[in-house]
Amino acid sequence: MTHILVVLIISLFSHAFLISLLRKKFKCLYVFSIALYSMLLFLTGKTFFYVESVGPIRYWIGGWIPPIGIELYADKLSVFMAALFLSCALLILISFESFKYEIGEERAAYYFMLVSILIGAMLGIIFTRDLFNLYVFVEITTIAACGIISIKNEKKAVKAALKYFILSSIASTSILLGLILIYNISGFLHYDTLKYVLLEYKDVFPKIISGSLVLTISGFSLKSALFPLHVWLPDAHSAAPTPSSALLSGLVIKIYVFVIIRLLNDVFGLMNTYTSILLEVLLALGNIGVFFGAVLAGFQNDIKKRLAYSSVSQMGYVFLGLGFNNQYGFEGALLQILNHALAKSCLFLATGRMIKLIGSRDIKGLEKISNKLPLTALCFSLCAMSLVGIPFTLGFLSKWYLAMAAIESGRTLQLIFIILSALLTFGYYFPVIVKTFTGDKSFKKDLEPEKTDKGNLISILMFTFIVLFLGIFPGFLLQYL
């Protein structure tokens, strides 16, 4: 069972190279990819139950024991994130056949290659226990993300990818400088060893440790689109092809939050004075991000840009949860990560389906689209309401736990803000929902996209089902958290 972590990562990187053999056979490429991701999700499920019953998995590459060797590590948090990422990636790839027109069938193999490299690198980030390997996997993730944005080869997409690459390179430089500072005083890169060494040296090198903390967390905050470091996100998410938008918003920005959680807990330590100050900063920026992201989303007439700015606001809630620095806050942040990954992936896929039908991204063009896409419009509405935090959705749980975190920390004003921010979210989603179900617009009578285009609809329905199921029956999930 210990080899399973290597198998998960190597399988995805191997898949990226093997599918080049099928680049002229789209059906075979599609089936092979879906089968592989299904198998990897099954293996992750086995890992989940193993970790739950036996405990964390530790795997030493080549048998070399840390801190000299490289360690792969899987605990409950790692498996939770890996299962989430593989589930979302699988459902997004199932829908790809509906959106291959955006990329072109001849480029489909290259797209699947980039996605496998992206997911493989993110699993590497999740399971690694070494800072150097973390940095390597982060860079692979960045390059693959640029690829899935610019693969359309349109001017807008290439420009957005270049903007993302430049800002991400600045973030990577900041991260690398922070890691160099850590290595300079400790001589180690292994998480557990570093935590012990930094605890010993916190009074000897306080400025170096605090500088390293600020540089690394700032870099990962830029990559995860924390306000005001979000400037790359609206263009990248709106210009990318529909499956890429779902992957970027649903998964890519979440992996860097996972890294922040790991570094704060497992390297710098939450009891560190500098960490406590940083968490207060994250709390403040999370509040600002929630507010301004919602306000900016409300001014967008382009539906994909509205969803993109919504991601800025929703990610603010995640940092809000981390900033509370208590049990409810941490659980609320994880629930928000889960809810946003599922709901926003569904929203982008549903939006892509609507845009495909009407040929426009203007919200006005969505008028009465429920006549031809009733299930799509319904799923869009339900997932949007989950992001608002309506009861019986997963989003209600995340908002509830964040509210409990505010109460536990004695922040009454923060509790009021969480309630008011939910109303702001409702304010920019409700007009879109109303537009999709009302109006005088008519479509061709023989147009039946939901009967002829089922792959995408299956993904949308599955995402919506999971969001509602976990919202109505959350017992197992809450117990696990």
CA-CA distance, 242 to 346, in Å (whole number)? 11
CA-CA distance, 29 to 23, in Å (whole number)? 7
For 442, left (φ over 0), alpha (ψ -120 to 50), or beta? beta
The DSSP call for residue 21 is G
In the numeric block, the tokens 């329905």 are attached to: 461
**What pLDDT is attached to residue 119?**
92
Residue 57 β-bridge partners: 74
**What pLDDT is attached to residue 280?**
84
pTM of the model: 0.89
CA-CA distance, 172 to 164, in Å (whole number)? 12
Which residue positions in the chain have pLDDT lower than 50? none
Q: Are 198 and 270 in contact (CB under 8 A)?
A: no
The pair of structure tokens assigned to 29 is 């490429």
- SS3 assignment, position 424: helix
H or E segment at 60? Answer: strand 57-60
**What pLDDT is attached to residue 99?**
72
Residues with Cβ within 8 Å of residue 67, at least 6 apart in sequence: 188, 189, 190, 193
What are the counts of helices (DSSP H) followed by strands (DSSP E) for the chain?
A: 21, 2
H or E segment at 74? Answer: strand 71-74
**What pLDDT is attached to residue 451?**
55
